Structure 1
Amino acid sequence: MAGQIKIDKQETEKGGRYVTVVSGQEAEMTFSRASPHLIIVDHTAVPDALRGQGVGQALALHAVEDARAGGWKIIPLCPFMRAQSLRHAEWADVIQQR
């Protein structure tokens, strides 16, 4: 299912979020911008009804792909994003561990 999830980016001057709506349920991953070349992923929220469907994974992968395209790094402060970053060694080019 993760490949079929449409994710939108909503950005403000100080940060933003990646958001998707699946089966009428909204899931999000929020971030703050520490510098032009660094974001901090600070929260991931996936409703219980969507758990186990790859929604959180899709949000994490989207953040990684967005960082690669934009030329910035991610500090995975959020426990979910941190766990995902440790499982995916191929993301090391954009993950900055604290």
Structure 2
Amino acid sequence: MKPEFENISLVKNEEKKRFEIEYKGHLAFIDCKEKSRQIALIHTEAESELAGTGAAAALVEKTLIYIENSGKKLLPFCPYVFAFIKKHPEWKRIVDERFEGYDQL
């Protein structure tokens, strides 16, 4: 994660069922669905002003840290999150082994 994102707080927006960060007045978020033992990440989106800043990657990393700390398992349905884990295989440790694409990570 780029240093400029380290002190930005991750917000778990319960009402909208998503994780969010705000950077320089612009929003990046990941839609999620939470169950008792799993959190599914469905879709990642960042405002166009954040393109190329590293905001989406920082959001994913902060969200993965949150999931790991919660003790839940990850279901990475979002293609961006899936690609992030392929690029950073150390995060496979929190992916639910029953996830259909587990062996492709």
CA RMSD of aligned residues (A): 1.6
Q: Percent identity?
A: 24
TM-score (norm 2): 0.80
Q: 2:9 aligns with which of 6, 11, 18?
A: 6
What does the per-residue CA deviation read over 1:9-52, in whole Å, with 9 as the maximum and x for residues that have no partner?
1125xx8211122122111111002x311111001111121011
Q: Is the 8 A contact 2:11 2:20 kept in 1?
A: yes
Q: 5+ unaligned residues in a row in structure 2: which ranges? A: 101-105
Pair 93,81 (structure 1): closer, same or farther in 2 beyond 3 Å = same
1:2-41 correspondence runs (5 A)? 2-11=5-14, 16-33=17-34, 35-41=35-41
Distance 1:57 1:41 in 2: 14
Q: Is the 8 A contact 2:21 2:28 kept in 1?
A: yes
Q: How many residues align?
A: 95
Q: 5+ unaligned residues in a row in structure 1: which ranges? A: none
Q: Which 4+ stretches in 1 moved above 4 angstroms?
A: none
